[in-house]
Amino acid sequence: MRDDAPVAVASRSFSRDARLRHELFQRYSHARFNDTGHTLVGDTLVEFLRGHAKAITGLETLDEAVFCAVPELRVVSKYGVGLDMIDVDAARRHGVRIWWTPGVNRQAVAELTVCLMIALCRRILPLALGVREGTWHQPVGRQLSSATVGILGCGHVGQQVARLCRAFDAAVLAHDIRAYDEFYRETAVRPVTLDTLLAESDILTIHVPLDASTRGMIGARELARMKASAFLLNTARGGIIDETALKHALVEGRLAGAACDVFAEEPPRDPGLLTLPTFLATPHIGGSTQESVLAMGRAAIAGLDGLDGAVDLTSLA
C-alpha cells in the first residue's frame, strides 16, 4: 500500500537516479525531487522542504534554523553515512526523527581507498601525466603487500579497508576509541595507540567521522610523528586533516605523498596543495558507484519508515 505523506528528496544524487525515483514512487504517492543539480542551502532548502512531513537529505545542512522554519517536517532519512551536516540535538528539540543506516557505502569507499594507496605507492598520477606530455620515467615504487597500513577509525569502512589490505598481505595496525577485539583477532589486525599508529605506518588512512573531537585531528604535530617516507589518505570527511599543515609537510619533504577525496571546503581552492606532484585529489567520489548509490538510496527509502536496519539517531543518548 502506498503512503500519501509528501516526501521531499533534497539529495541531488538520489534525485538524478531513475531507479531510485521509481522505487520511491512505489512506496510514496507524492514526492518532490531536487533536479537543480546543486546542493540546497539556507532559504532555498527551507522552501524546498516546506509542506513535507518526510524528507531524504544528503549533503544538506539541517540545523536549528531549518527545523524552526519547517515545523511540519517530522522525519528525515539520511542518504549516505556522514552525519556532520545534521544537528541531531536540534532535531530532537523540534520532534524530528532522524533515521540513518550505518556502513551502507563501506565497500565503495574501501575500494577507492585501496585504489588511492596503490596510486601513491606506484606514483600513478605524475607518471601517467608525464607519459601524456612525452616523458618516459620509470622510478621504482613499492608494493602494498610490503607496507604497514595504519587505519585511523576501525568502524564499518575502516574494517573493510583492513580486510582488503590483509588480502594483499599487508600488515595492518588500527586505532579507534572503541574496542573491536573480535575483529582484530579474526583479521590479525594489531590495535595500537595513536602515536604508535602515526610512527609505524607506511600508509595512514583516515576513517573517523567528523565531529568536535576529530576536527583538525591530524595537524602539524601528528604529521611530524609520521615517517618521511609515509603516505596519508583521507576518504572520510574534510576538516579532519589540517590541509595547510599537510601542504607544508609535502612541500618540505617531511611526507612522501597524500591523497584526499574530501576537503574542508569543497571544491578545494588552494593551488599550492592541489598542484603538488605528491598530492592526489579526487572530487568526493567515495560513495559514487552504481552499487553504492542504489544501496544508499534504498536504505534512505527504508529509513522513511524506520525499516531494514535504520537507526533513529534522535532516540540515542
281-291 burial string, b = 16+ CB within 10 Å, else e? Answer: bbebebbbbee
Rounded average pLDDT over 142-149: 97
* All cell numbers assigned to 153: 577509525
The pLDDT value recorded for residue 317 is 62
pLDDT tens figures, 177-210: 999 999 999 999 999 999 999 999 999 999 999 9
Name the active-site residue from 12, 284, 291, 298.
284
Ordered alpha helix ranges (H), the chain: 12-15, 18-27, 42-49, 64-69, 88-93, 106-121, 124-132, 156-167, 181-187, 194-200, 220-225, 243-251, 271-274, 290-303
What sign has the CA pseudo-torsion 269, 273, 277, 279? negative
Name the active-site residue from 47, 72, 265, 266.
266
Residue 72 annotated to the active site: no
pLDDT tens figures, 56-112: 999 999 999 999 999 999 999 999 988 889 999 999 999 999 999 999 999 999 999
pLDDT over threshold 80, residue 2: no
Report in angstroms the alpha-carbon separations of 154 from 140, 180, 198, 291: 31, 8, 15, 22
Distance CA 167, CA 164 (A): 5
According to CATH, the topology of domain 106-281 is Rossmann fold (3.40.50)
Distance CA 163, CA 155 (A): 12
Transcribe 41-62 into DSSP letters.
-HHHHHHHHTT-SEEEESS--B
Distance CA 237, CA 208 (A): 8
Strand pairing report for 97-100 and 311-312? antiparallel
Residue 266 annotated to the active site: yes
CATH code at 7-104+289-315:
3.40.50.720
The domain limits of the chain are 7-104+289-315, 106-281
Residue 284 annotated to the active site: yes
> Nearest 5°: phi and psi at 67?
-65, -35
Are the CB atoms for 251 and 279 separated by under 8 Å? Answer: no
Rounded average pLDDT over 17-31: 95
Q: Do domains 7-104+289-315 and 106-281 have the same CATH topology?
A: yes
Query: Which residues, including other chains, have CB under 8 Å from residue 144's CB and lie 6 or more apart?
Result: 114, 117, 118, 121, 165, 168, 170, 203
Name the active-site residue from 156, 237, 243, 265.
237
The pLDDT value recorded for residue 191 is 98
